[in-house]
Amino acid sequence: AQSVTQLDSQVPVFEEAPVELRCNYSSSVSVYLFWYVQYPNQGLQLLLKYLSGSTLVKGINGFEAEFNKSQTSFHLRKPSVHISDTAEYFCAVILNQAGTALIFGKGTTLSVSS
Amino acid sequence: EPEVTQTPSHQVTQMGQEVILRCVPISNHLYFYWYRQILGQKVEFLVSFYNNEISEKSEIFDDQFSVERPDGSNFTLKIRSTKLEDSAMYFCASSLGLAEETQYFGPGTRLLVL
């Protein structure tokens, strides 16, 4: 079975500071990795995904994530955050062979203040 | 930009009552999903649906739950006899294909069972 652990439930940062949201996963088979963002009163929106190839993946809104197979991690980073980045961020995995079920972590609340 | 829509946004029901949650997936998508998020917990996969059949379901998706695509546009989740523990946010999602294809989420239906 697969599982996802998001190590920080809340991350408060100041505007223009860098941020890293941590995600570790556990799986006995190969998976694809995703980061989703949820703004207040909205659905989940894909930020980026890792399928194969380069381990550094760039997504929307200036976010990027690095896949580290040996550490089974997929941490999300942004060099300079904005107030508008305040949201809930979810890491997720799916089996890369005909998988349909996204397995999510508990989420990390990013709070950006001025 | 096409989006997944869900109705109603909020629903309050009495324990033991039947509820139907409705979703309109993105029009050219082939795979449809339901997830739920109990307050303060992870987003959990319930079921995936393709070609008018359930592709995959979780252990949460017991006999009290059913899904249907009654016409060419709607996708519904029925809970036959609601329990207090069914109170959650229910998200519908759709995708073009399996695994690596992005699942696009609706804004959710907040279900409260009293």
Better-scored residue on pLDDT, B70 or A58 = A58
- Residue A92 corresponds to which tokens in the numbers above? 């997720």
**What is the rounded CA–CA span in Å between residue B112 and residue B114?**
6
CB burial of residue B50 (10 Å; 0-12, 13-18, 19+): middle
Please state, rounded to an integer, the average pLDDT across all residues of chain A: 93
Chain A residues with beta carbon closer than 8 angstroms to that of B99: 32, 94-100
CA dist list (Å): A92 to A2, A4, A37, B36, B73: 10, 7, 11, 14, 27
Q: Which of A50-54, A110-114, B18-22, B32-36 has the lowest mean pLDDT?
A: A50-54
pLDDT digits (tens, 9 = 90+) for B16-44: 999 999 999 999 999 999 999 998 888 99
Provide the pLDDT for residue B81.
Answer: 94
- Please answer yes or no on whether A100 and B104 come within 8 Å at the CB atom: no
Cβ-contact B77, B20 below 8 angstroms: yes
One-letter amino acid at B25 equals P
The phi, psi pair for B26, rounded to 5°, reads: -65, 140
Question: CB-based contact (8 Å) between B60 and chain A?
Answer: no
Chain A residues with beta carbon closer than 8 angstroms to that of B42: 104-107
One-letter amino acid at B24 equals V
Query: Which residues fall within 8 angstroms of residue B53, CB to CB, at 6 or more apart?
Result: none
pLDDT of residue B1 exceeding 80: no
Identify the CA nearest to B36 among candidates B64, B1, B3, B70.
B64
**What is the rounded CA–CA span in Å between residue A106 and residue B41?**
6
Chain A residues with beta carbon closer than 8 angstroms to that of B108: 43
Displacement of CA A49 from its chain's centroid (Å)? 9
Cβ-contact B90, B34 below 8 angstroms: yes
Cβ-contact B91, B105 below 8 angstroms: yes
**What is the rounded CA–CA span in Å between residue B112 and residue A2?**
29
CA distance A104 to chain B (A): 6
- Please answer yes or no on whether B107 and A105 come within 8 Å at the CB atom: no
